Amino acid sequence: MKKISAFLILITAVFCFRSDAQSNMVTMPPIEPGVSLELAKWRAAHYSDIRYKLNLTLEKMSPVVKGTIEIRVNVSEPPASARGKMAGGETPPIILDWRRIAGHEEKSTVSNVSVNGKLVSLSTNWPPADAGGSDFNEHLIFRDGVRLGENVIKLDFTSPILTSGSAITRYVGKEDGSEYIYSLFVPSDASTAFPVFDQPDLKARFELTTNVPMMDGGATWKIISNSPLTTRRVGSLYGPHDPRHGDAKFGGEIPWVTTEFA
């Protein structure tokens, strides 16, 4: 009886060891709509030192905001003891959040995508068959060209400006017809405005440049951000002395949660 008990204990110990070893080799989480707890933990273990360089162009009564974004993120492989290690020594992919608003999907576009200086095409499937990345289930996933250490993703995008139900909202004053555009990224709507890591434990440093009409019926567009103003220029599109358009740049070294940035 003692021999049988010892044998059972040995079998149990071997099974536990093998189960733990296999769990350490779990690949990336499934690509599902939204940000699951599993995906959030996996990204927090692999990504750090995130920076966004965001350039937005606003036009009077436009249904979309046009923009470009440069995303810098450090990709690392956690220790072998950490859950979620990529099998076979593969470099973890970069998984951004990019959610289209129902009924306005055509207003959300991405183009001219590059990863570390190399143009990348996007598939609507995951894994992609003939592309370097995917636009799939409310995420942009990049695999080709991603390396351990710092990675730079650049792309152009458009996203909707609506009177309600969007991260970028328009209000037109009833008294004087003045146009107001403001952002509201809570609880998880930043990813409907631009591709982003939309989870609270992935704070990032933002640099924001806004390009707007400076003179609109005699009134000046005013731009407000919760980051410090660093530069303001007039006539950036039409020449150094043309007052019709201008830009303002905001930025700082304060890391923001995406829901806090404005």
> Is the pTM of the predicted complex or chain greater than 0.85?
no
- If residue 50 lies in a helix (H) or strand (E), which one and from where to where? strand 47-57
Give the pLDDT band of residue 212 (cuts 50, 70, 90).
confident
Higher pLDDT, 222 or 171: 171
Which of 8-12, 217-221, 227-231 is predicted most confidently? 227-231
Of 76, 112, 81, 111, the closest CA to residue 94 belongs to 76
Domain ranges (residues) in the chain:
2-251
Distance CA 218, CA 53 (A): 31
Give the pLDDT band of residue 3 (cuts 50, 70, 90).
very low
Reported as a single tens digit per residue, the pLDDT across 115-156 is 999 999 999 988 887 778 999 999 999 999 999 999 999 999
Of 108, 110, 205, the closest CA to residue 166 belongs to 108
182-218 residues labelled b (16+ CB within 10 A) or e (exposed): ebebeebbbbbbbbbbbbeebbbbbbbbbbbbbeeee
Superfamily of segment(s) 2-251? tricorn interacting facor f3 domain (2.60.40.1730)
Distance CA 200, CA 198 (A): 7
Backbone angles phi, psi at 170, to 5 degrees: -110, 135
Which of 85-89, 163-167, 245-249, 253-257 is predicted most confidently? 163-167
Reported as a single tens digit per residue, the pLDDT across 18-52 is 333 333 334 788 999 999 999 999 999 999 999 99
